[in-house]
Amino acid sequence: MNKEIAGARAWLKRENRKWPGVMTRVPESSWPPYSPANAGKMVMVFRSSEFLAQVFDEAGGTRISVTRTRLNGRGDWDDGIHWDEMMKVKRECGFGEVSFVEMYPPDADAVNVANMRHLWLMPAGMELGWKLWKR
């Protein structure tokens, strides 16, 4: 690991100590930079000591993009966000009563630029999930 990555990891570790263990809404003045492709689409940002969640208003609906707030030895965001952690992030961002899905697109449409997970709001009227079997 080089000194630059080690420094970034140490800085993030200090920053993470400033945040609570639950997702907290981040004021717009403190939002992270985003790509021109997402300009104007980001509507909310949440942060905890472990995760960053960015909420986007997409043409197809709402998307939540989640990453850990620590770097691995290569300088990438740590990977391996578990299902129960995604549920906790979704709930703490205020979407606990709403169904989201994680999409796995065709190879030609895949974008894999960071260790992030993306949840998409279920379209109204679309029924998926365990409640179908509970009836």
Listed by start position, the domains of the chain span 3-28+39-134
Are 47 and 24 in contact by the 8 Å Cβ rule? The answer is yes
Structure tokens that stand for 23 in this block: 């997702």
Give the percent of the chain with pLDDT over 90: 46
- pLDDT of 133 higher than 60: no
- The pLDDT of residue 40 is 66
Find out whether 56 and 65 touch, Cβ atoms under 8 Å: yes
What does pTM read for this prediction?
0.84
3-state SS, one letter per residue, for 82-115:
CHHHHHHHHHHHHHCCCCEECCCCCHHHCCCCCC
Two tokens at 129?
């999930």
**pLDDT at residue 58, rounded to an integer:** 82
> Taking 90 as the threshold, does the pLDDT of residue 82 lie above it?
yes
Name the more confident of 89 and 34.
Answer: 89
Band (pLDDT 50/70/90 cuts) for residue 61 is confident
Confirm if 40 and 34 have CB atoms less than 8 A apart: no
| 58-62, 67-71, 83-87: least confidently modelled range | 58-62
3-state DSSP assignment of residue 112: coil
pLDDT of 11 higher than 90: yes
